Homo-oligomer: A and B are copies of this chain.
Amino acid sequence: MFVNVFTSSPAPCHVSRISESAVRRLSLYLRSLQEAHDAGVVTLSSDELARRGGTTSAQVRKDLSLFGSFGKRGLGYSVEELRAELRDILGLSQPWRVALVGAGKIGAALFSYEDFRRKGFIIRSVYDADPAKVGSCWGDLTVRSDGELEDGLRADRTDLVIVAVPAAAAQRVLERVACAGVRGVLNFAPVRLRAPEWMTVRSVDMSVELEALSYALSQQDRQRMAG
């Protein structure tokens, strides 16, 4: 029985392909629900969810309908119920075993990023290539040597790896992570990584975001000059 994963979704389980943007929005809805929950709100309409998530009510309903019907007509969505549903859909109902590769500034920031732990992404090991860093203590973990990477990842049954190494080292790390059979990678290095089919790699590219911002600003300047 595979239905118990989608507990109360009698609808499309074999969903062929959900767009990346839809998944990102689900994540934002979940955040809104968490906030509403903390504020003691019991019910939310698609309209309200849209306002908080920066989208439209039709979009909210479409997104949710991809996975089932969670609302009550004339009423809205139960915060508690939809929250559980989204956590389940996003795979957050049980914790993930995470390893961090790269114990530099970015690694340090991510290591102590509370939001990750709260969402169930538990960092269980830290690796670095710099001998000066190996052996130092991060929380209750000891920074391990780069050389132990493959064995360590396997031994810890690591689900996903956060890559926070310099751009030049990232592809090599990805390949070794792939060797260890880890299926998911969150990459912070500013390079496009080449990975095997069965892996999922997602990159957070801060430079690209900043450049997009730069584009928007200079575009404004140009229009000001023209008009």
Interface residues of A (CB under 8 A from B): 2, 5-6, 13-14, 20, 23-24, 26-28, 30-31, 52-54, 89-92, 96, 104-106, 108-110, 112-113, 115-116, 119, 121, 159-160, 167, 183-186, 190-192, 198, 200, 202, 204, 206-222, 225-226
Contacts and interface: CB of A to CB of B under 8 A. Distances in A.
Contact of A90 (B26, B167, B214, B225): B214
Given A91-B214, A184-B216, A226 B119 contact: no
7 nearest A-B pairs in the assembled complex, by CB-CB distance: A91-B218, A105-B109, A91-B214, A200-B216, A2-B225, A109-B109, A27-B211
A119 to B, nearest CB: 6
A209 B186 contact: yes
A113 B52 CA distance: 32
Given A207-B119, A225-B5, A215 B105 contact: no
Chain A contact surface mostly = helix
Contacts of A52: 192
A77 to B, nearest CB: 18
A151 to B, nearest CB: 22
Contact of A222 (B5, B160, B186): B5
Nearest to A191: B31
Contact of A115 (B27, B183, B207, B212): B207
A110 B215 contact: no
